[in-house]
Amino acid sequence: MNFLDKLLGIGAALAESAGTAATDAAAAVGEAGEVPASSMIAQLLGMFLPMILIFVVFYFMLIRPQRKKDKQVKEMLDNLKNGDRVCTIGGIYGTITGIKDDAVTLTVGNQNMTMVVARWGIRSVEEVSIENDATELN
């Protein structure tokens, strides 16, 4: 282990940092032997500022976009109505024929088979263009 310390210079770096920390602490101590309040505030700010910045970055990069996406999905599920063409999370396309509480009845396929799925199982509402209205959707 002594060899690794010498090789990587860890021992010298630790000794140097300990020496500078002791010098800084001695310089910060006033005549009465107390550390000035401004120095303590600066030290606390120095410790907590990186943590605060990390939280802010996480909020704007992860938490806020996820909340926005969840709000859009909830709004889409609340606005489901009969006749909407939807895609389930399993990849099944169908047309809504009935909605009751948390259950959605879909017609699927050429034979208009009915299928009951949970409301949360709807991934998206498909936009049906006027060209598609003339053809059979199922």
Cα→Cα distances 138→11, 85, 95, 118, 125, Å: 74, 9, 8, 20, 15
pTM to 2 decimals?
Answer: 0.58
pLDDT of 63 above 70: yes
23 vs 42 pLDDT, higher one = 42
H-only helix segments in the chain: 2-8, 10-28, 37-58, 64-78, 130-133
Which whole number is the average pLDDT over 53-73?
95
User: Residue for token digits 């976009």?
Assistant: 65
State residue 44's pLDDT score: 85
State residue 136's pLDDT score: 56
Q: Residue 82 is which amino acid? A: N
Over residues 119-137, the pLDDT tens digits come to 999 999 998 754 555 555 5
State residue 43's pLDDT score: 87
Angstrom distance (rounded) from CA 31 to CA 41: 19
Over residues 67-122, the pLDDT tens digits come to 999 999 999 999 999 999 999 999 999 999 999 989 999 999 989 999 999 999 99
Q: Which residue from 67, 76, 90 is spatially nearest to 126, judged by alpha carbons?
A: 76
State residue 125's pLDDT score: 95
Name the band, by pLDDT with cuts 50, 70 and 90, for residue 30.
very low
- Side-chain half-sphere of 105: how many Cα atoms within 13 Å? 8
Name the band, by pLDDT with cuts 50, 70 and 90, for residue 4.
very low
For the sheet with 93-100, list strands across it.
113-118, 103-108, 93-100, 85-88, 122-126
Spacing of C-alpha 4 from chain mean position:
41
DSSP 129: P
Cβ burial 63-98 (10 Å sphere, 16+ → b, else e): eeeeeeeeeeeeeeeeeeeeebbbebeeeeebbbee
